[in-house]
Structure 1
Amino acid sequence: MVLDQLHILAAGHHQEIMQVLHRLINGRENWTGKVVASTEEAITACSEAPYHILLLCAGIPEADAAVIKERLAALQPHIIIIRHFGGGSGLLESEIRAALDAHQIQLR
């Protein structure tokens, strides 16, 4: 599959980190994204718009991650879920590229 635009949703509890992620995601030419602060906001966002990738990061506990994964299986079964622990733009890009490669998805 080849995409013109990669739609990313990032869910996390640490506001400062999430602001940086929002800037990094939306600063890329062919990435666009939204940042949410809770499990329920992530589920709501996925019920309102399609995303290719969900980043679970910045304080989302494993129990909440399990709930999100279960709910998204019905809402958006093809979404790629990445557990992102930070580390700057280079790590974020590497994680996303590896996930896209694993799912045979390319960006133009």
Structure 2
Amino acid sequence: MDTIQILVVGKHPEIMQTILRLINNKPEWNGVGASSCDEAISTFKEQPCNVILIGAGLTQAENDELCLFFNSHKPNIPVVQHYGGGSGLLYAEVFEALAGKSF
């Protein structure tokens, strides 16, 4: 199985650091962070990803812009809204997004 690439978008550096640490603790996952819409779109264009995780800190307009962009360019990549709740919820959200997908 290939490594699952996860793009994490959020504006809170401490939360981003925690989410990336949790994701990267799983040997089969690799997380990369983006702290703005422009950075997220640039990363999305430059690096393959299997899941997009959108976290807290974005305005509703930014969230809508990103979802529209991601879904219009690669609708098969799941976009997950993550607003906290601990590592168990984070893992469950990613596993659910990956369910039925093969890489």
Tell me the TM-score normalized by structure 1.
0.86
Q: Percent identity?
A: 37
After superposition, the C-alpha distances for 1:44-87 in whole angstroms (9 at most, x for unaligned) are: 10010111111110212221111112222343332110000112
Structure 1 unpaired stretches of 5+: none
After superposition, the C-alpha distances for 1:2-53 in whole angstroms (9 at most, x for unaligned) are: x421110000011100000111111111000101111111111001011111
Is 1:71 aligned to residue 89 of structure 2?
A: no
Ranges of 4+ aligned residues in structure 1 off by more than 3 Å: none
Q: Which has the higher strand share?
A: 1
- In structure 1, distance between residues paired with 2:60 and 2:97: 20
Alignment of 1:53-92 (within 5 A): 53-92=51-90
The residue type paired with residue 8 of structure 1 is: I
Partner of 2:23: 25
Please provide the CA RMSD for this pair.
1.6
The residue type paired with residue 92 of structure 2 is: S
Q: Report the secondary structure of 1:33's partner residue.
A: strand
After superposition, the C-alpha distances for 1:80-106 in whole angstroms (9 at most, x for unaligned) are: 1000011221110111111222xx125
Number of aligned pairs? 103
Tell me the TM-score normalized by structure 2.
0.90
Taking CA–CA contacts closer than 8 Å with sequence separation of 6 or more, which of the two structures ends up with the larger relative contact order?
1
The residue type paired with residue 42 of structure 2 is: T
Structure 2 unpaired stretches of 5+: none
